Structure 1
Amino acid sequence: MQAKQLFLTGFFLHISLLLCAQKIETFNLSGYVKDSFGKPIAGATISIQELDLGTTSDVDGSYQFLKLKQAHFSVRVSSVGFHSDTRKINLATNTNTFLDFQLRRDEKSLDEVSVVGKTLNQRKVQEIKQSGYAVNVIDLNTQVDKVADLNQLLRRSPGVTIREDGGMGSDFSFKINGLDAKIFIDAVPMENYGSSMTLNNIPVNLVDRIEVYKGVVPAYLPTDVLGGAVNIITKRRNKQFFDFSYGYGSFNTHQASLIANMRDAKTGLMVKADAFFNHSDNNYMMYSNPKYGINLDGYFKSFVDEETGIVQNQLVKVDKARRFHDAYTSGMGKLEAGFENVKWADRLLFGLGYSENNKQIQMGSNIKSVYGGRWSENKFLTPSIQYRKNGLFLPDLYVDIFASYGDSRTDVRDTAKYIYYWSGIPQSNGTFKDEAYDQIVNKSYIAKTDFSYNLNKEKSQVINLSYNLSTNQQKNFDLMKTEEYREINSRPKRLNKHLINLAWQGQWLDEKLSSVVFFKYYGMDNSYTADERKYDSEGNLIEGDVVKYDNYKDYKSGGLTLRYLLKKDIGIKTSIEKSYKLPSVEQLYGNVVYVLPNIDLKPEEANNVNLGVFYNGYFQDKHFINLDVTTFLRNTNNYIQMVSAGNYYRYSNLDGARLYGIEFDAKYGYKDLFRINVNGSYDKAIVTKLQTDESIDPAASILHKQLPNRPYLYGNVDISIGKNDWLGMGTRIELTYMNQYTHKFYMSWENLASQSTKLYIPNQDVHSAILSYSWKHNKYGISMEARNFTDERLYDNFGLQKAGRAFYTKLRMSIF
């Protein structure tokens, strides 16, 4: 393990030194274009008339001119909706010159914004903002100095709940408004990248922004979930770019990330490399808390019974214990090569990714099941190809095609011969445990096509057709069983999903009204082999056979989104959809690590309704106020929930549930000096149908009762104070305070136990702070973070405790 850490750290440093050691024979001009509030302005035009040169700012507002000749000239920056700015400059030889621009908003021109000349990405963003989707956008270019992973940032978004079993690398569930949500990376399902590429692994430096859709999802994100979807947009620059970061903190936590991008402007040839490395011992302290039913079993103590004289063993409980078998290590490397912005393609990329992780498993589904020798290891390889072209065959036809293959191999082993409790000392009852060795082989295929056609020259009427095929074939091998057993029970379990989405997006009434009408077709094809043989006590076959099952089911749905602008800065949104959530491979077939199979699991279905109002106000180019309020209703059948099953979990259906609630997100900012963000969510989940095997006794019935073991009231407060150029030109120092609150909730049905014996997760009020400092115009950065500095006891699933107080620091270097 140490050898891997040293190798990866050395690799990162070697690349850094090579790039830094290149002799600069000419000089460069670069910088950022931002608004008065410090937000990047993408697509701004930067021109040097004396040299007849021009470029546009990137997604993060950055621009660059390379290999310029020495000269006196003027740099002009302009962007629709902002006042232009021109500055004179005198470049010195053999130096890099930084020149940042901060443009003032031009309220008069905001009504004349045109999409002419904008990049495809910018047009996508504008389409999203002008649509009726309930969506939040998180800009990660302001978060690059934080040690946090994407889990910690996303869970601060209204309506989002992320429940983890422990520290880094732990299993987690992700929901939006209480329902399962799909996660995409650049519009490709995240599971396509392997188990190392998860929300609690991806560093913030690899990502530009995150789009969080609630309920209804755009057509170019083909998905079959009810809660919504998250689209993670990774960093992609049309220039030379290099970014490296390294963080270290509590529990021997290491996090490193690397992005390198090279592009030749003449030929369009582009090479991009991404890599990250994570490690944590996760050896934080656990505490007993009898008030909430949390008791740590420490060890067995032997004593002689005074009455019988017989030696007895007593299980002794301890007040606290340190996790001792929970280390996690993961790494990922991805290389892409191809062409961008050439005549015959906007993008043609060939990619190859490899990831690997090693995870020690400390617990099962609760604190009573403690492991001392159980671990899993995964290796994942995926080649891919992507082609994009705007104006293929027809001037107004846009095509996006993506295909990939994934080969995943997971070994799950338990080599401990003894029983373990929280003392970490092996315990023996006179016998040895049998070694366990399971292997999971999963091969997956994804094919995704997206066609968009503009019906008029104004591009106000667009037809979109997308098709997505995903295939997963899973084999489970129990390597401790006989060959005959393995031959039958390791036969492939296959799940194919087909999703077709046809959408019509329109702008009406001088773009005051925006609408999207869509229709979806879902197809699910699954096959598996079941051993239904029965034997007598002597091993003779009584009845049954090994049977292969093949099933195909299809479903149809549709929906509508509307957005109407009452004024240019205030509007209302609504969206309606009948949707389906097809079971995943893990939910159907289990994963031998912690989830048991349930092949009888049915798809969820729901009628989704969202209604919201939004306001975006700017005053004197100094103050901004953003306010979003959304209400939602989800009437679901066959609601899929995770339930505890001994030391494991199992997914099961609840016949009917109604989820409803309200959420708000309010932001205020003064220039680039002060920002405050407050959001809150309230979502209830009520049982609407009796279970088929449930008693009608009103006292024992769960009808009309709140679903247990799920948070329903939660919120966040973020306050930032910062100052530019305080410690010198090109510097910024910022202090951020963060608070996260989750109201208490019951772990079991509220009416099925006495008040004194009900177990519940207590109120949780988490306080964190980050101090960051950047210099050389954001080329270098350092941050220090105190996470949960009041040492709050944190729990998510079934009383499993997460880490307490922790401290982290991070260094970042960006070269472009």
Structure 2
Amino acid sequence: MSHIKFTFLLFSLGTALNGFSQLTLSGTISDENGNTVPFANVLVDDSEKYAISDDNGFFSITGLENRSYRIRFSSIGFKTLVRTIDGSSNSALVLSVVMTTQTESLDEVIVQGKSELSIISAQPLAVSAIDAKLFQNANIDAVNLLDRANGVRVRQSGGLGSDVNISIQGAQGNAIRRYFDGLPIQYLAAGLDINNLPVNQIERIDIYRGVTPLEVGTDALGGGINIVPKQIQGDYVDVSYQFGSFNTHRPSVNLFHTNTKDFFFSSNFFLNYSDNNYKINAQNFNEEERRATEIIEAERRHSLFRSTYVDFALGVRNKPWAKELKISFVNDRSFREINTGIVFNPVRPIAAVTQENEGITTRLDYSVALSDKLLLKTKTNIGRYIQSALDSTRVIFDWSGNRLESVDGNGAELLSGPADITIDRDVFLQRTTLKYNITDAHKITVSNLFIDQQREGRNVFVDLNDDPLRFPAQLQQNYSGIQWDGMWFNTLLETVLTYKNYNYKADATSLENVIDGAFERQQLNNNYHGANVAVKYNIDTNLFLRGSYEYAYRLPEEIELFGNQSTIGSNVALEPEQSDNYNIGGLYKAKLFNTVPVALEVNGFYRYQQDRILLLASGFDLARHFNEEEVEIKGVDGYLAVRPLKNLKANLAATYQDVRIQSALEASEADVIGTRVPNIPSFFMSFDAHYTIEGPLGERDLLRFSYYYDYITEFSSIREANALRNIANFVPDQHINSLEATYTTTSGKWNVSARINNIFDDDVFDNFRVQRPGRNVNVKLRYTIQ
């Protein structure tokens, strides 16, 4: 494998090419009265280039190819302006742009954060984009942003840092892939994930409901989440500190510097810490009677979470031989105390089980224009990660912290036996993408992603000869494909057609002994083919319809095949998921009474999945991934956004989904056919309203008040065919109300916000009825220089 990795790395460096000229686009933006327009967005269609005008309305974009472009200018309070420029024979173009005032900005209403990214949200693929820059001052993170998007439900097993399960239109778990800058996030660091990533380090979040584009996606069966890191031009400093209930502390620092020769340096740092010791509903345990007694309010003990992340990057931009060349170094660590297994135990908490992760990663990004029509991008990531888990006590406590006289004879709280486990993982990842513009209306994209991960471990409580972790395990995945994007009839019709190939090889030993005491070694080598088509019809500037079909596979992941050495067991016999996915929907924008802007989007979806991989409880406090033979998903989601007043806007998003088992693997489980898949609510909705006061304390300062409401209908935490109507099996209806106030100074450099989550302290539950935090308060301070 070493020679393959070395070849990939050499290819990532690219061939140093030169000799193509570049275009610099600059200008000044003003309104019809001659006043400059600061902070306007300038977006170059069909490229990754953009700019934001400064206090004088000036903007500049460098490193463009010499050809024609469509430039979009947008700003809150102004109508979006589109201009076409011809840069085929120029090295510099200077524009004078005049924008027309609009009392209310219709684009800005469309579900929080989509105003500046409406182009992305209007692709033939069912995609919406959240502009994280609009929420840099708020007391939220990436999870909070996602949880308010239509069709999306984010599930967590506790407080800060707890496991995350994302559901999009009925598909959940690993069927929904998570990406960071177009690469699978689980391979980029040891503990980095969407549940601990601060919003201040994010440019935007793209949500794909169904088909994912070739240059981002892998084998996402039901959709994908792509987190785009901040795209910074010039010098930039962003420092924030968030603190709140449960001894929570979250500092974050972003630094970026560019010199006059386009060499740059950047660094990002963040820390997450929380005791997560919120109140929960538990039960007393009577030692003499050997049974649970009355329900009590107890502190969730032993739930501490801590993570640190730091990266450094050096690079250069806008050179004849490289649009961008960047090398990054990442070090991250995380530590977590495990308080409960997959299934919540109301009588006995876990008191001494811990998990740790540490990783060192090197990444190389390189892109170059091979011609005026051909662009090459490569991303290479090499990481060394260490995972550890400790579970080795016989002591048992109740939820009040009292030591019980009972003794767990196996010497472990969570696993079947005592464990002090260390797993070493080596990950190599490489994506290469070629984009060729056939014409202004048609382009071809070819992409390949190769992932190689190897692991080997040790449990010091097990004799070496009896330890299956000592056997090296390897999993290789390769995703390749070709995509054709086309526009027809003067952009009236847009299409996307994609072919994908999936291949994976696994070589591992089952973590369980077979009957004769020997370990079973298994090798897999499978190849699959998939395809998708998406069509969008632009009826007019305020109305479009779009639909897509995809036949897709989702390959089993490492944790699904091999387990996580603590709460999830192994199942190397898993089959890949496969599915027929249909999406159809549309977006309509209008003005009620000629003054009140509204936006309405409705999407229908249908999926028929075979061999669906699902995490189910398997014994006491443990779970394992299984294949459900066939599952049918159908439903509808949508949102309504309105701005009734200049300073008041509101958004409503709702989803109904019916996810049912259509066949069973075993004849003995026939009673589950036609029942709902557990841990998936059939209906949920969110509403938020925001009122902004301009100049409350000084000229151009802002004070914004926000109200958030979430509703989740009752759902079963176990298979409905086996679910008795008792409190342990059903998660009740949930109503969650939150308030936030944010103040921004006149200069925009200093910002402060305060938020009260779950203001009425309602009980909040999630998968397998694990309870989440009640009422809590957070404060965030932020200082920026740009």
Name the TM tier (shorter chain).
0.7 to 0.9
Answer yes or no: is the 8 Å Cα contact 1:664–1:681 preserved in 2: yes
Q: Secondary structure, in 3 states, of the residue corresponding to 1:595?
A: coil
Please report how far the alpha carbon of residue 756 of structure 1 lies from its aligned counterpart in structure 2 after TM superposition. Answer: 6.5
Pick from 389, 399, 406 the counterpart of residue 422 of structure 1: 399
Determine what percentage of the aligned residue pairs are the same residue.
23
| Partner amino acid, structure 2, of 1:525 | K
Q: How does 1:240-639 map to 2 (within 5 A)?
A: 240-264=235-259, 266-287=260-281, 296-302=282-288, 315-368=292-345, 370-389=349-368, 391-392=369-370, 394-429=371-406, 433=411, 436-456=419-439, 459-486=440-467, 488-530=468-510, 548-617=521-590, 623-639=596-612
Q: Deviations over 1:311-339 (max 9, x none)?
A: x6565444111012111111100111110
CA distance in 2, matches of 1:174, 1:650: 18
Q: Deviations over 1:188-210 (max 9, x none)?
A: 11112334311121111111211
Please report how far the alpha carbon of residue 752 of structure 1 lies from its aligned counterpart in structure 2 after TM superposition. Answer: 3.9
The aligned residue for residue 18 of structure 1 is none
Flag structure 1 segments of 5+ consecutive residues without an equivalent: 1-30, 46-56, 65-73, 84-100, 288-295, 303-311, 536-542
Please report how far the alpha carbon of residue 753 of structure 1 lies from its aligned counterpart in structure 2 after TM superposition. Answer: 5.0
Q: Secondary structure, in 3 states, of the residue corresponding to 2:565?
A: coil
| Partner amino acid, structure 2, of 1:504 | W
| Partner amino acid, structure 2, of 1:421 | D
Please report how far the alpha carbon of residue 768 of structure 1 lies from its aligned counterpart in structure 2 after TM superposition. Answer: 0.4
The aligned residue for residue 54 of structure 2 is 63
The aligned residue for residue 204 of structure 1 is 199
The aligned residue for residue 3 of structure 1 is none
Please report how far the alpha carbon of residue 509 of structure 1 lies from its aligned counterpart in structure 2 after TM superposition. Answer: 0.5
CA distance in 1, matches of 2:473, 2:359: 19
Q: Deviations over 1:565-619 (max 9, x none)?
A: 1112101000011001111000110011211001111111000110001123468
* TM-score, normalised relative to structure 1: 0.81
Q: Which has the larger radius of gyration?
A: 1
Q: Deviations over 1:46-80 (max 9, x none)?
A: xxxxxxxxxxx99683537xxxxxxxxx8667996
Q: How does 1:648-797 map to 2 (within 5 A)?
A: 648-669=622-643, 673-694=647-668, 701-753=671-723, 755=725, 759-797=729-767
CA distance in 1, matches of 2:663, 2:290: 47
Answer yes or no: is the 8 Å Cα contact 1:251–1:281 preserved in 2: yes
The aligned residue for residue 145 of structure 1 is 137
CA distance in 1, matches of 2:780, 2:122: 37
CA distance in 2, matches of 1:227, 1:600: 22
Please report how far the alpha carbon of residue 690 of structure 1 lies from its aligned counterpart in structure 2 after TM superposition. Answer: 3.6
Q: Deviations over 1:191-232 (max 9, x none)?
A: 123343111211111112111001111111131121111111
CA distance in 2, matches of 1:639, 1:363: 26
Answer yes or no: is the 8 Å Cα contact 2:157–2:767 preserved in 1: yes
| Partner amino acid, structure 2, of 1:527 | D
**Against the structure 1 CA distance between its residues 39 and 278, is the aligned structure 2 distance closer, same or farther, given a 3 Å change threshold?**
farther
| Partner amino acid, structure 2, of 1:436 | A
CA distance in 2, matches of 1:430, 1:545: 31
Please report how far the alpha carbon of residue 298 of structure 1 lies from its aligned counterpart in structure 2 after TM superposition. Answer: 3.1
Q: Deviations over 1:419-443 (max 9, x none)?
A: 1221112223368736531112221
Q: Secondary structure, in 3 states, of the residue corresponding to 2:136?
A: coil
The aligned residue for residue 41 of structure 2 is 42
Q: Secondary structure, in 3 states, of the residue corresponding to 2:144?
A: helix
Please report how far the alpha carbon of residue 548 of structure 1 lies from its aligned counterpart in structure 2 after TM superposition. Answer: 3.4
**Against the structure 1 CA distance between its residues 585 and 131, is the aligned structure 2 distance closer, same or farther, given a 3 Å change threshold?**
same
Answer yes or no: is the 8 Å Cα contact 2:686–2:709 preserved in 1: yes
| Partner amino acid, structure 1, of 2:546 | K
**Against the structure 1 CA distance between its residues 549 and 417, is the aligned structure 2 distance closer, same or farther, given a 3 Å change threshold?**
closer
* TM-score, normalised relative to structure 2: 0.84
| Partner amino acid, structure 2, of 1:520 | K
Q: Secondary structure, in 3 states, of the residue corresponding to 1:511?
A: coil
Answer yes or no: is the 8 Å Cα contact 2:661–2:676 preserved in 1: yes
Please report how far the alpha carbon of residue 34 of structure 1 lies from its aligned counterpart in structure 2 after TM superposition. Answer: 11
CA distance in 1, matches of 2:645, 2:657: 34
The aligned residue for residue 307 of structure 1 is none
The answer to which of 754-763 and 278-287 deviates more is: 754-763
Flag structure 2 segments of 5+ consecutive residues without an equivalent: 1-27, 61-69, 94-113, 413-417
The aligned residue for residue 90 of structure 1 is none
CA distance in 1, matches of 2:349, 2:166: 25
**Against the structure 1 CA distance between its residues 553 and 428, is the aligned structure 2 distance closer, same or farther, given a 3 Å change threshold?**
same
Answer yes or no: is the 8 Å Cα contact 2:702–2:746 preserved in 1: no
Aligned-CA RMSD value: 3.2
Please report how far the alpha carbon of residue 381 of structure 1 lies from its aligned counterpart in structure 2 after TM superposition. Answer: 1.0
Answer yes or no: is the 8 Å Cα contact 1:33–1:44 preserved in 2: no
Q: Secondary structure, in 3 states, of the residue corresponding to 1:43?
A: strand
CA distance in 1, matches of 2:121, 2:511: 53
Please report how far the alpha carbon of residue 403 of structure 1 lies from its aligned counterpart in structure 2 after TM superposition. Answer: 0.4
CA distance in 2, matches of 1:518, 1:39: 40
Answer yes or no: is the 8 Å Cα contact 1:32–1:61 preserved in 2: no
Answer yes or no: is the 8 Å Cα contact 1:409–1:439 preserved in 2: yes
CA distance in 2, matches of 1:623, 1:331: 46
**Against the structure 1 CA distance between its residues 131 and 531, is the aligned structure 2 distance closer, same or farther, given a 3 Å change threshold?**
closer
Please report how far the alpha carbon of residue 499 of structure 1 lies from its aligned counterpart in structure 2 after TM superposition. Answer: 0.6
| Partner amino acid, structure 2, of 1:732 | L
| Partner amino acid, structure 1, of 2:225 | V
**Against the structure 1 CA distance between its residues 418 and 150, is the aligned structure 2 distance closer, same or farther, given a 3 Å change threshold?**
same
Q: Deviations over 1:344-370 (max 9, x none)?
A: 211100000010111111111233252
Answer yes or no: is the 8 Å Cα contact 1:750–1:758 preserved in 2: no
The answer to which of 686-695 and 468-477 deviates more is: 686-695
**Against the structure 1 CA distance between its residues 327 and 39, is the aligned structure 2 distance closer, same or farther, given a 3 Å change threshold?**
farther
CA distance in 2, matches of 1:621, 1:61: 30
The aligned residue for residue 15 of structure 2 is none
Please report how far the alpha carbon of residue 517 of structure 1 lies from its aligned counterpart in structure 2 after TM superposition. Answer: 0.7
Answer yes or no: is the 8 Å Cα contact 1:407–1:444 preserved in 2: yes
Answer yes or no: is the 8 Å Cα contact 2:180–2:228 preserved in 1: yes
CA distance in 1, matches of 2:677, 2:161: 27
Q: Secondary structure, in 3 states, of the residue corresponding to 2:772?
A: coil
The aligned residue for residue 616 of structure 2 is 643
**Against the structure 1 CA distance between its residues 80 and 404, is the aligned structure 2 distance closer, same or farther, given a 3 Å change threshold?**
closer
Answer yes or no: is the 8 Å Cα contact 1:469–1:497 preserved in 2: yes
Q: Secondary structure, in 3 states, of the residue corresponding to 1:600?
A: coil
Q: Secondary structure, in 3 states, of the residue corresponding to 2:764?
A: coil
Answer yes or no: is the 8 Å Cα contact 2:40–2:57 preserved in 1: no
Please report how far the alpha carbon of residue 547 of structure 1 lies from its aligned counterpart in structure 2 after TM superposition. Answer: 5.2
Q: Deviations over 1:491-512 (max 9, x none)?
A: 1121111111201100100001
Q: Deviations over 1:539-581 (max 9, x none)?
A: xxxx685553321101001110000111121010000110011
The aligned residue for residue 173 of structure 1 is 165
Please report how far the alpha carbon of residue 794 of structure 1 lies from its aligned counterpart in structure 2 after TM superposition. Answer: 0.4
Please report how far the alpha carbon of residue 750 of structure 1 lies from its aligned counterpart in structure 2 after TM superposition. Answer: 3.3
CA distance in 2, matches of 1:450, 1:718: 39
